[in-house]
Amino acid sequence: MMQNMDSNLSNAKNKFGNSRAVTDQNVLIVGGGHVGLSFALLLAHHGIASTLLEKMGYPTISPNDDSNRSHYLDSRNTALSRRTVQIYQEIGLWDELQSHACRIDAVQISEQGSFGRAQLNKDEEKVESFGQVMENAWLGRKLLLAAQQEPLIALIDHANVTAVAQQNDMVTLSFSYYGKEEHVQQLQASVLVACDGRDSTVRQLLNIGTTTYDYQQTAIVGVVETDKPHEHVAIERFSPAGPLAVLPLTDPDGDGNDEYQTGYRRSVVWVCPTGEETKYLEDDAHFLQTLQQAFGERAGTFVTAGRRGAYPLTRVLTDKQVDGRCVVMGNAAHTLHPVAGQGFNLCMRDAHVLAQMMSTQVLKGADIGDTQLLKRYEKARQTDQKRVIRFCDAVVHGFTHPNPAIKLARNVALVAFDKLPNIKPLIANYAMGLKS
């Protein structure tokens, strides 16, 4: 679907008047997943028009569609940090999202068969929650609806990007619709932002290299039910079979932030050595038994498992995130290990900073695609990105190393983290995305 940008821009100016600085400059976004849609909505919040191209076809949905969970044991989920929640609040979208979000009040960290354990509690840290867990299907549905209703966003799906060319004052993108490859079309804009995933087509067309690392692990992702309520507790558990995260989820037809909800659904991310995933995917009983052995009774009895997906884990870091008037963002810029749940939240902080910097340019009457501006964005995000990347890798390698001395050290570190003053607030703020 493609909307006419000139018409959209005129409608936006009529709608918003002087309430926000609507500009004639616009942005091309490639990749209409959660990051691409969120970035387009952030830009629109600042009065900046965008055209978003997605290679897949968008589903037909409307605001009146049934919002009940149709596959409540068959969905992927995302842990949204407090900072990510704040960003969605800023653009007025959180009220639409929160009914399918389940807050995290506490985080428990432990290793199977070891003495080290630690816990973060929202009351001790004086926060409303550490974040929220949301079904990807619901998040995507609401982001798409918001984008469809926003005059400053034009959506094009079934789009196959074929070339990128840069000029002094603009960037030109060539694409065709799938099935009509012979009919190449072109779009021009002040800046191009690639949010098209780990195997980014735009990144390859720009000849931007990457540094990759194969963890030789596969993430098994799904939803389970237990006979014990989750009580809004997230559990990070490290076992000989691999690291495991179990997060609280909403009831099938309840509000995840209702203090009276029962809460027996949990999102599971189980990381196993690549090659062992089949037995966890095909055999529900074996999967549930493995979870039970790893957890003991702290989560109750695992009674039901939904359909699961397997995702090979590879760290992909782009060699640079800015090339002329082009920016690489999201998983196209940094694909991380999911064990600490930081990947999407890091992408959202990137998107938020770039949208703000472009807004400042608009207010000054300056070029939003100016290479020096984009380079400043790249530099501004380095500290946060590097810290998160180091943290994720430290957790992965530190808790999977079999050396007894390293095992002892990490358990001592867990005890120290739990007992020493001033450490918890620092780590909690980083995990919530409040320190960048």
Residue 386, number of CB atoms within 10 A of its CB: 12
Is 255 in the same domain as 339?
A: no
Check whether residue 243 and residue 308 sit in a common domain: yes
pLDDT of residue 115: 65
One domain for residues 10 and 56: yes
Judged by DSSP in three states, 67 sits in coil
Counted domains in the chain: 2
Q: In the prediction, which pLDDT does 120 show?
A: 80
Q: Does residue 222 share a domain with residue 120?
A: yes
Residue at token pair 């009351």: 123
Which pLDDT score, from 0 to 100, does residue 61 have? 77
Domain assignment of residue 436, yes or no? no
Collapsed DSSP state (helix, strand, coil) of residue 47: coil
> Quick one: 307 and 204 in the same domain?
no
In a domain, 143, yes or no: no
CA 432 to chain centre: 13
Q: Which domain holds residue 348?
A: 5-63+149-209+319-388
- Shared domain for 96 and 117, answered yes or no, is yes
Whether 155 and 266 map to the same domain: the answer is no
Averaged pLDDT, groups of 10, the chain, 436 residues long: 45 41 84 97 96 91 59 69 94 91 88 73 82 90 93 96 96 91 91 97 98 93 91 84 83 56 82 90 92 85 91 95 98 90 93 97 95 97 92 72 63 61 61 59
Answer whether residue 114 is part of any domain: yes
Answer yes or no: do 111 and 157 share one domain. Answer: no
CATH of the domain at 421: 3.30.9.10
Determine the pLDDT at residue 126: 80
Tell me which long-range contacts 85-91 makes (C-beta under 8 A, separation of at least 24).
Answer: 85/131, 85/132, 87/38, 87/42, 87/348, 87/349, 87/352, 88/38, 90/45, 91/41, 91/42, 91/45
Question: What CATH number has the domain bearing residue 186?
Answer: 3.50.50.60
Instruction: Write down the pLDDT at residue 183.
Output: 86
